Amino acid sequence: MITAYLDHLTVERGLSRNTLESYRRDLDRYAAALAASGVTSLSEVKTSAITDHLALLREEGLASSSAARAISAVRGLHKFAAREGYTGGDVAAEVRPPAPPKRLPKALEVDQVTRLLAVPSDDTPAGLRDRALLEFLYGTGARISEAVGADIDDLSLLEDSSAILHGKGGKTRLVPVGDYARASLEAYLVRGRPALSANGKGTPAVFLNARGGRLSRQGAWMILRRAAVAADLPVEGPYAVSPHTLRHSYATHLIDGGADVRVVQELLGHASVTTTQVYTLVTVDRLREVYATAHPRAR
């Protein structure tokens, strides 16, 4: 049955060889556990046997991500067996893989952000755009999709220095635009955007590509990546600068500076304050780090 299921994954889903080998190891381990308990056919398996197998995986010290993959393989096997008529039903349908641990956001230090924002230093239309984009991301906490989705009419730089961001689920929010971001935006709108716009057919987008159209998320990501490389910041590995890094840094630095978590919630457009509270954990970790290095009796 395991071979038939893996053949199905190969043909129907085109999984990579490495993924298939991982699934095979997971399912062989599962089959061995069933055999050790006297179960020789999938039709004999009860839901409790699957939950017991999950518990055993965790007791053996398997990481939650690996345990989740193993149980996903088991769930897929049982679903396949039920669909093909080998068993009377899918006994694994109610078993949920363990949730992966919630990773804390990766925030840059203030001096790292300063270094990153200083990279686009030329006054070409593209250079002015790149600087305005990076300043806008960090100065407003906008998601990358909100930044590239912003239109000229969403900016109110002269009246109250604010911007309307169009977030998830069609929700909008008004956020302040700081002095640095406003100055960069004004320079770009006056000296950079008109030259880029001349190459296109006219679009209300704030940030334009070289053809005069709306800058894509991929284009914005490449701008950030180039700046990160130039600023000697990581672009690979667990601490790589990503499109969300400046948003994380924005929130963390606000909390570090004493901002109320509910104010930060509104600025980020989070539906629940619980989502925002993860940034307070980042701050606590930072406090522990400072304490450990600064207090004479910390270690």
Catalytic choice (5, 30, 250, 279): 279
Give catalytic status of residue 244 as yes or no. yes
Active-site annotation holds for 79? no
The residues, ordered by sequence, that sit 6+ positions from 217 with a Cβ below 8 Å of its Cβ are 144, 145, 148, 243
Active-site residue, selected from the candidate residues 46, 83, 244, 288:
244
Q: Is the dihedral of CA 130, 132, 136, 139 positive or negative?
A: positive
Kindly give the confidence (pLDDT) of every residue in the chain, 299 residues in length, as a single tens digit, with 9 standing for 90 and above. Answer: 788 888 888 887 777 788 889 889 999 998 998 898 888 888 889 998 888 888 888 788 777 778 888 888 999 899 988 988 888 889 888 888 777 666 666 789 999 999 999 999 899 999 999 999 999 999 999 999 999 999 999 999 988 899 999 987 788 999 999 999 999 999 999 999 999 999 998 899 999 999 999 999 999 999 999 999 999 999 988 788 988 899 999 999 998 888 888 898 999 988 888 778 777 776 766 667 766 777 676 66
DSSP state for residue 46 in the 8-state scheme: -
State the pTM of this model: 0.64
Annotated catalytic residue 288: no
Whether 30 is catalytic: no
Report all structural domains of the chain as residue ranges with CATH numbers, in order of start: 2-83 (1.10.150), 110-293 (1.10.443.10)
| 248 belongs to the catalytic site | no
Residue 141 contacts residue 247 (beta carbons within 8 Å): yes
Q: Which of 168, 171, 211, 262 is catalytic?
A: 168
Tell me the CA distances in angstroms from 102 to 32, 65, 124, 221, one per residue in order. 31, 11, 41, 24
Strands 162-166 and 155-156: antiparallel
